[in-house]
Amino acid sequence: MRYGFLAAILFATTLFGTTARAEDASMTVERAGTTLRDLTSDPNVVGPVADYLKRSKGVLIIPQLVKAGFVVGGEYGEGVLLARTGAGDWSDPAFYSLAAGSIGFQIGVEAKQVLLVVMTEKGLNSLMSDQVKFGADASIAVGTIGGGVGASSAGSLGADFIAFSKSKGLFGGGALDGAVIQTQPEKNEAFYRTAASPKQILIERRFTSDEAAQLRETLSQF
């Protein structure tokens, strides 16, 4: 009786954890769609972002990149990557996180929406591994947007990724060299209800979800 009770508790805990992860993954996809619409409908943003998206191999959408620090700072965010499979045709999302640290004079907290536009096959292929470090495994440039300022092309030619953020906030802009992108296999599994690797989702397109239909539809214009 005792073992049966413990097994029931373990099962309920596992089920609750799986359900919570699935809900979290679904919320990330929903927020990614909102972020994409925000950053492609603002008059100060739509021009430069759209131009890069139309030439991209994929896009990593991070609804909230939180940066905080006092002298030593860090930033972290979770989002989804979709790969272009043809004109106006995009894969379903795979889940990733981005983390970075920095040292220098800084104070405050900032949260911002971020798009990392994948410009090269090298950049897309690098994301098929468990971890990618900017500056070591792939190059990144920052596109300046907002306030009527178009995307900066300085340093962007040949970059594997172009990073766009709608607002600069307290910390201002800055390169993401040293930032690390990691896959989130537990979120992929929760969202697709089975183990699914980034390559299977993004390149081989073995998995699809109705929950991502609106996000794919928004991207279809690019």
The ranges assigned to domains in the chain are 2-219
Is 16 or 69 the better-scoring residue by pLDDT? 69
3-state SS of the chain is CHHHHHHHHHHHHHHHHHHHHHHHHHHHHHHHHHHHHHHHHCCCCHHHHHHHHHCCCEEEEEEEEEEEEEEEEEEEEEEEEEEEEECCEECCCEEEEEEEEEEEEEEEEEEEEEEEEECCHHHHHHCCCCEEEECCCECEEEECCCCCCCCCCCCCCCCCEEEEECCCHHHCCCCCCCCEEEECHHHHHHHHCCCCCHHHHHHCCCCCCHHHHHHHHHHCCC
Examine the pLDDT at 85 and tell me if it is beyond 60: yes
pLDDT at 190: 96
Examine the pLDDT at 103 and tell me if it is beyond 90: no
Q: What is the pLDDT of residues 25-82, one digit of tens each?
A: 999 999 999 999 988 886 655 567 888 899 999 999 999 998 765 555 678 999 999 9
pLDDT at 153: 45
Is residue 52 within 8 A of residue 62, CB to CB? The reply is no
Give the predicted TM-score (pTM) of the model: 0.82
What would the mean pLDDT of 199-212 be, rounded to a whole number? 96
pLDDT at 191: 97
CA triple 195-127-191, angle to 5 deg: 30
What would the mean pLDDT of 155-182 be, rounded to a whole number? 72
Is 147 or 125 the better-scoring residue by pLDDT? 125
Nearest CA to 28 among 208, 169, 190? 190
pLDDT at 102: 60
Amino acid at 122: K
* Torsion angles phi and psi, residue 158, rounded to 5: 85, -5
Q: By percentage, how much of the chain surpasses pLDDT 90?
A: 52
What would the mean pLDDT of 144-173 be, rounded to a whole number? 60
Average pLDDT across the chain, whole number: 80
Query: Measured between alpha carbons, how far is 102 from 131 in angstroms, rounded to an integer?
Result: 19
